[in-house]
Structure 1
Amino acid sequence: MKRISILFVCMGNICRSPLAEGIFGHLVAEAGLTGDFTIDSAGTDAWHEGEPPDQRSIATAKGQGIDISGQRARRIQSRDFRDCDLILAMDRDNLAALGNAPPGANIRLFGDIALGTGEDIPDPYYGGPEGFELVYTRLLTGCCRLLETLGVERASCSGNTSSVR
């Protein structure tokens, strides 16, 4: 299998995209496929560059056995458009912000390719922990489907969503 490079993108790279990176990385590791993927995340803006993910994202991931505390926010760079096989925007605003990408960049809406619904992954930043739990659930579902879409039969998608209402 060719190594596949995936970049998850949201606005500030502190809520949704770090969660997606952590979830997808966890699923890939559970499937024993760490060597088959390069997984990263970035933001369309640089407001939080160098900062760790939002504490609520860290707590939500930790509650599911995923540690994203070592990630640091960064802004998408021109090399990402060249080096990444697939760039997944969390919502339509992020997708529009990536509109200046060079020809050939494979940029898609997460809700299209991973969920098949076309939905936006809502930004939980201005809400409480329940919004982060909802985002976690949607990202877990999408990341499982994404792994299946990429032809991975051994993906384990048994992430705990029992605490989500």
Structure 2
Amino acid sequence: MLSELDINKIVLNPTLRHDINYDRLLSFIPKLNCESGRSKQEKVQQFWSGLHHDLTQFVANRKGFLRAHGPNDNDWSLPILLNEVKDIIQTLVPAQDHDMLEEVLDILWLMQQFARGMLDIEKLAGWLSSVLKTHCAPMRDKWVNNMCKELKRGHREKDIDELVAGMTSLLRVLTRRRSNVP
């Protein structure tokens, strides 16, 4: 599902590049009422449910979870999500900011901190909020503030539902094209 946002797929598609460059009225509307749309919606729901399950298992039995997945295993949902978020943000920020992005969103380091229970999600949420407000349209500021509040509240209250809601909001901020998109 997230692979559809892969910048390489977009860049290597000449028809899409042409349409983006020359069609001012171009818009992307997901087809949700067809079989493939329903299938995509199911996959999205499975991903978020999987993330919730993974985080619940981590909190319930950190040692057992880490034995099964390891702190750096990219086969579970959190590092997959963080890598996608990083890739998307990398397309938003200018090249001179990529080093800073690599430093702050060093997924290996973040996952090691997470595994040890030392990841400062509130600080990360604040940084993400700052970056997104700097590099995204001002109409997204309300969404960014909401995302930041959800992540901070989820971290403070150890509320997995709220953390997942914050991560869902983060991805929505990064993928929304205009304010009337749900």
TM-score, normalised with respect to structure 1: 0.28
More strand by share: 1
More helix by share: 2
TM-score, normalised with respect to structure 2: 0.26
- Bigger Rg, which one: 2
**Greater RCO, CA 8 A, separation 6+:** 1
